[in-house]
Amino acid sequence: MIFKNSLEFAQSLDKQDPLNHYREQFHFPKHNGKDIIYFTGNSLGLQPKLARTYIDEILKDWETLGVEGHFEAKKPWWDYHERFSTQLSKIVGGMPEEVTVMNTLTVNLHLLMVSFYRPTTKRFKIICEEKAFPSDQYMIASQVRFHGYKPEDAIVEIKKRPGEHNFRTEDVLKTIENIGDECALLLIGGVNYYTGQVFDMEVISAAAKKQGAFVGWDLAHAVGNVELKLHDWNVDFAAWCSYKYMNSGPGSASGCFVHKKHHGLTDIPRFEGWWGHHKKERFLMAPEFVPEPDVNAWQISNAPVLSMAPYLASLQMFDAVGMDAIITKRNLIVSYLEFILNAVSDKIGADFEIITPSNPEERGTQLSVFLHGYGKKVFHYLMENGVSVDWREPNVIRLAPAPLYCNYTDMFDFGKILEKAIIKQ
Residue 328 has a CB neighbour count (10 Å cut-off) of: 15
Over residues 51-59, mean pLDDT: 98
The Cα–Cα gap between 237 and 239 comes to 7
Long-range contacts of 20-24 (CB under 8 A, 24+ apart): 20/407, 22/317, 22/321, 22/404, 22/405, 23/404, 23/405, 23/406, 23/407
Q: Is the pLDDT of residue 88 over 90?
A: yes
Cβ(129)–Cβ(193) below 8 Å: no
Q: What's the pLDDT score for residue 249?
A: 97
Q: Is the pLDDT of residue 425 over 80?
A: no
Cα 356–90–274 angle (5° rounding)? 110
Per-residue b or e along 356-365, where b marks 16 or more CB atoms closer than 10 Å to that residue's CB: bbeeeebbbb
Q: What's the pLDDT score for residue 372?
A: 81
Q: What's the pLDDT score for residue 374?
A: 79
Q: Is the pLDDT of residue 360 over 80?
A: yes
Over residues 335-342, mean pLDDT: 97
Over residues 70-97, mean pLDDT: 97
Q: Is the pLDDT of residue 373 over 80?
A: no
Residue 416 has a CB neighbour count (10 Å cut-off) of: 14
Q: How confident is the model at residue 324 (pLDDT cuts 50, 70, 90)?
A: very high
Cβ(100)–Cβ(85) below 8 Å: yes
Over residues 52-65, mean pLDDT: 98
What DSSP character marks residue 198?
Answer: B
Cβ(340)–Cβ(411) below 8 Å: yes
Q: Is the pLDDT of residue 395 over 90?
A: no
The Cα–Cα gap between 55 and 38 comes to 24
The Cα–Cα gap between 108 and 296 comes to 12
Over residues 252-276, mean pLDDT: 96
Q: How confident is the model at residue 375 (pLDDT cuts 50, 70, 90)?
A: confident
pTM as predicted: 0.96
Cis peptide before 162 (omega within 30 of 0): no
Q: What's the pLDDT score for residue 146?
A: 98
- Helix (H), strand (E) at residue 420: helix 408-423
Nearest CA-CA partner of 26 in 245, 215, 212: 245
Over residues 256-267, mean pLDDT: 95
Q: How confident is the model at residue 296 (pLDDT cuts 50, 70, 90)?
A: very high
Q: Residue 34 in 3-state DSSP?
A: strand
- Mean pLDDT across the chain, nearest whole number? 96
The Cα–Cα gap between 213 and 124 comes to 10
Domains delineated in the chain: 7-35+322-423 (3.90.1150.10), 52-321 (3.40.640.10)
Q: How confident is the model at residue 394 (pLDDT cuts 50, 70, 90)?
A: confident
Q: What's the pLDDT score for residue 16?
A: 98
Q: Is the pLDDT of residue 68 over 80?
A: yes
Q: Is the pLDDT of residue 378 over 90?
A: yes
Cβ(155)–Cβ(137) below 8 Å: no
Indicate the pairing of strand 155-158 with strand 37-38.
unpaired
Q: What's the pLDDT score for residue 222?
A: 98
Q: Is the pLDDT of residue 352 over 90?
A: no
